[in-house]
Amino acid sequence: MRDFFCKYQLQNIFATQLRIMVDALLGLQWGDEGKGKIVDFLANEYAIIARFQGGPNAGHTLYINDKKVVLHTIPSGVFHPNLMNVIGNGVVIDPVSFQKECEEIESHGIDLKKVLIISERAHLILPTHKALDKASELSKGKNKIGSTLKGIGPTYMDKTGRNGLRVGDILQKDFKERYDALKDKHLTILQQLNFDEDINQWEEEFFASIEELRKHTIVGVEFYLNDKIVSGKKILAEGAQGTMLDIDFGTYPFVTSSNTVTAGLCTGLGIAPKWVNKVYGISKAYCTRVGSGPFPTELLDEVGDLLRKTGNEFGSTTGRPRRCGWIDLVALQYACMINGVTDLIITKADVLDGMDRIGACTSYTIDGVNTNQFPYDVTNKIIEANYEYVNGWDKNLADCKIGSDLPQSFLNLSAMIEAKTGTRISHVSNGVGRDQLIQMI
């Protein structure tokens, strides 16, 4: 036993000194910043890609041999040979949607049983969680969150309420009894909410997909990852959603139900903060939001329509049109601060091609007072966004290969972003392709 601890301690010191560590990659806005593409680009530098929160509400888009693939629960490194993909305890899994995703990935010749491991502590989304999501949204009327209706909120509620079922439970003999007990609880609530859809119709496919889930590698991911860290393997922790949808720091209550920020990787994977090294924060060169809730820089005019059309801003998971507006540097500064972003990656810069001028919100006016601080109350106050503008450019950013190819006006916008956020831009993404990424530092 003593020998084991000595060896572990030595490896620990060795790994700390070499700074072989865990990097984080996460969204800084309201989701859909292009995280999937960037993970896919960076994946070669890592031995493991690990998702730490969220669930099938996420939609991360990749292009594999020019074919579009949208991942929901499975990490975006899955198309790279020689690396492992991990679904952490912080993720919530819908076995039905998970099975469909597996089938799509396996149609590309990937053997997921070999390259994917799942935490036994991840919580399960039951059919009744999805029903509760729907019933809860209906009961809120015009105040609805605009949830993806994937059962995310009710599942995390059962997790924190200490009622949930975990992936490890499907390996236990009493799984069906525990399922029935939780389902009965849910049915009582659903009755109170006058929900009258037939839930039994969803159960058959749920139990069929549970059988499929059992065939995957289900382990204590926290042990697996810590073991890999001390043996010198590099890990990229992949976030879902974005900081402004974080349960604590987002535009509450119009948020998701998990911690989307850097700290979420520690609780969502069982990795100690001392191992976290780089934090890649992803932001579009403008801003989008799908679902309800405050959006200070939303453009409800033809410029917003143009951004939606050029940026193809329609939800990857639900197909809903995304609301569009100028980049919000007050919110972005806040997000960089909360996450400790070391490397800021600006995506979809090419979407701004051809605009007359490009706005960036540099402060808010609230109740007649000017502020640079993202406020606590964003739902009841009227927030007026104040803008600074740069001129547009007449170049196709997609044709730029290196930083010096970028037009001066874009560099002025970048300088403004860096100055307001106090964070260096490490890359600029200028197209959907894997290789369309310009290194800036």
Question: Residues in the site for ligand IMO, rule: CB under 6 A?
Answer: 27, 30-32, 54, 57-60, 145-148, 150, 152-153, 240-242, 245, 256, 290-291, 316
Name the one residue in this structure whose structure tokens are 């800036």: 440
242 binds Mg ion (CB under 5 A): no
Amino acid (one-letter) located at 330:
V
Residue 353 bears catalytic tag: no
DSSP at 375: P
Choose which of 53, 61, 259, 292 interacts with ligand GDP (CB under 6 A).
Answer: 61
> Can you tell me whether residue 85 is helix, strand or coil?
strand
Tell me which residue has its CB nearest to ligand GDP. Answer: 61
145's CB contacts (< 8 A; 6+ apart) are 137, 153, 253, 254, 255, 291, 292, 293
Residue 60 bears catalytic tag: yes
Choose which of 34, 59, 154, 431 interacts with Mg ion (CB under 5 A).
Answer: 59
Distance in angstroms (rounded) separating the CA atoms of residues 341 and 243: 12
Question: What tokens appear for 78 in the block?
Answer: 């899955």
Choose which of 55, 59, 293, 304 interacts with ligand GDP (CB under 6 A).
Answer: 59
Q: How many CB atoms lie within 10 A of CB 115?
A: 22
75 binds Mg ion (CB under 5 A): no
Closest approach, Cβ 55 to Mg ion, in A, equals: 13
Closest approach, Cβ 27 to ligand IMO, in A, equals: 5
Question: What tokens appear for 345 in the block?
Answer: 């990656």
Contact 69, 105 (CB under 8 A): yes
> Can you tell me whether residue 304 is helix, strand or coil?
helix
316 binds Mg ion (CB under 5 A): yes
Q: Of the ranges 120-128, 191-199, 224-232, 348-356, which one interacts with ligand GDP (CB under 6 A)?
A: 348-356
Choose which of 154, 209, 431, 438 interacts with ligand GDP (CB under 6 A).
Answer: 431
Distance in angstroms (rounded) separating the CA atoms of residues 213 and 167: 9
253: cis peptide before it, omega within 30°? yes
> Can you tell me whether residue 124 is helix, strand or coil?
strand
Closest approach, Cβ 98 to Mg ion, in A, equals: 17
Quick one: which of 150, 146, 22 has its CA closest to 88? 22
Interactions with ligand GDP, residue window 257-316 (CB under 6 A): 316
Contact 67, 432 (CB under 8 A): no
Question: What tokens appear for 279 in the block?
Answer: 């934090």
Per annotation, catalytic residue among 3, 23, 40, 60:
60
Per annotation, catalytic residue among 23, 32, 40, 353:
32
| 316 vs 426 by CB, closer to Mg ion | 316
Question: What tokens appear for 219 in the block?
Answer: 């382990």
Choose which of 25, 28, 30, 32 interacts with ligand GDP (CB under 6 A).
Answer: 32
| 101 vs 353 by CB, closer to ligand IMO | 101
Closest approach, Cβ 316 to Mg ion, in A, equals: 4
Angle at 331 between CA 330 and CA 336, to 5 degrees: 100
Give CB contacts under 8 A, 24+ apart, made by 131-140.
131/186, 131/190, 131/195, 131/197, 131/199, 132/186, 132/189, 132/190, 132/193, 132/195, 134/195, 134/197, 135/189, 135/190, 135/193, 135/194, 135/195, 136/193, 138/193, 138/195, 139/193
Choose which of 15, 43, 49, 60 interacts with ligand GDP (CB under 6 A).
Answer: 60
Residue 72 touches which member of Mg ion, ligand IMO, ligand GDP, none, C-beta under 5-8 Å by kind? none
Residue 432 touches which member of Mg ion, ligand IMO, ligand GDP, none, C-beta under 5-8 Å by kind? ligand GDP
| 240 vs 416 by CB, closer to ligand GDP | 240
How many chain residues touch ligand GDP (CB under 6 A)? 20
Residue 348 touches which member of Mg ion, ligand IMO, ligand GDP, none, C-beta under 5-8 Å by kind? ligand GDP
Question: What tokens appear for 13 in the block?
Answer: 């010191």
Q: Of the ranges 54-62, 83-91, 167-175, 205-213, which one interacts with ligand GDP (CB under 6 A)?
A: 54-62
Closest approach, Cβ 27 to ligand GDP, in A, equals: 6
Choose which of 23, 28, 30, 34 interacts with ligand GDP (CB under 6 A).
Answer: 34
Closest approach, Cβ 32 to Mg ion, in A, equals: 4
Contacts to Mg ion by CB under 5 A: 32, 59, 316
Interface positions with ligand GDP (CB under 6 A): 27, 31-37, 59-61, 316, 347-348, 350-351, 429-432
* Residues labelled catalytic: 32, 60
